Structure 1
């Protein structure tokens, strides 16, 4: 190999020759009136680059607006769930539904939910 040849003109497999080939092909297509192919390719490339970013931010917004953190109405265990879904409490196993940002017991129709309070027993003396 000739070591006296200037190294600035060497093109190796670094991808520069491929990039130059694509650039020359784009210029050639644009000069013969087929620039719309080049524009379509560039638009497709831009969509492939920016669509995942937009999808990621959209997914984050959806999770942020639908994730609910509240306490179980039966055992007061705090956990998270998605809005407008049914789930079970991981602590007591009670079936719950998530509505309006709160956990509610999932009971069959006609069930009356009663809260019991503890009353201390006093002995009445006669």
Structure 2
């Protein structure tokens, strides 16, 4: 016994056929009083197309708010770090932390940080 495959028909809408078919469906829905449905579909399509741009803008806003760029207080090299984080200077290896948009040294408790100035020369009087 031989089974026959059912006949199937398909419509291939590629290129101009897709756009003409979409225009025909839009005209049909508008004619039936369902224009609001087309407006909603177009709005959804525009939102989905603009979503990558919105995500990029949100990430840039976040990065400007939480990433700090400053100079190392020890060697003066410029670096970037997240606000409130502890890290090592990529140039000199000094342990630093970020607070209020600036880099600060992490010194052990009880350490007095002294900056040296220009040394003056003393002459012996004889």
- 1:117 matched residue in structure 2: 116
Q: Which runs of 5+ in 2 are unaligned?
A: 1-12
How do 1:36-75 and structure 2 match up within 5 A? Answer: 36-75=36-75
- 2:27 matched residue in structure 1: 27
- Tell me, in whole angstroms, the C-alpha distance in 2 between the residues paired with 1:31 and 1:56: 39
- Tell me, in whole angstroms, the C-alpha distance in 1 between the residues paired with 2:84 and 2:30: 53
- Tell me, in whole angstroms, the C-alpha distance in 2 between the residues paired with 1:32 and 1:83: 57
- Tell me, in whole angstroms, the C-alpha distance in 1 between the residues paired with 2:125 and 2:59: 68
Aligned CA-pair RMSD: 2.9
1:46 Cα deviation from its structure 2 partner: 0.8
1:40 Cα deviation from its structure 2 partner: 2.3
- 1:6 matched residue in structure 2: none
Structure 1 segments, 4+ long, off by >4 Å, are 118-126
1:122 Cα deviation from its structure 2 partner: 4.5
1:17 Cα deviation from its structure 2 partner: 1.2
Q: Which runs of 5+ in 1 are unaligned?
A: 1-12
Distance 1:113 1:43, change over 3 A: farther
Q: What TM-score does the superposition give when structure 2 sets the normalisation length?
A: 0.67
1:116 Cα deviation from its structure 2 partner: 4.6
DSSP 3-state at the match of 2:97: strand
Aligned residue pairs, count: 113
- Kindly provide the CA deviation profile for residues 7-59 of structure 1, in whole angstroms up to 9, marking residues without a partner as x: xxxxxx86111111011112222333433432221111110222222332333
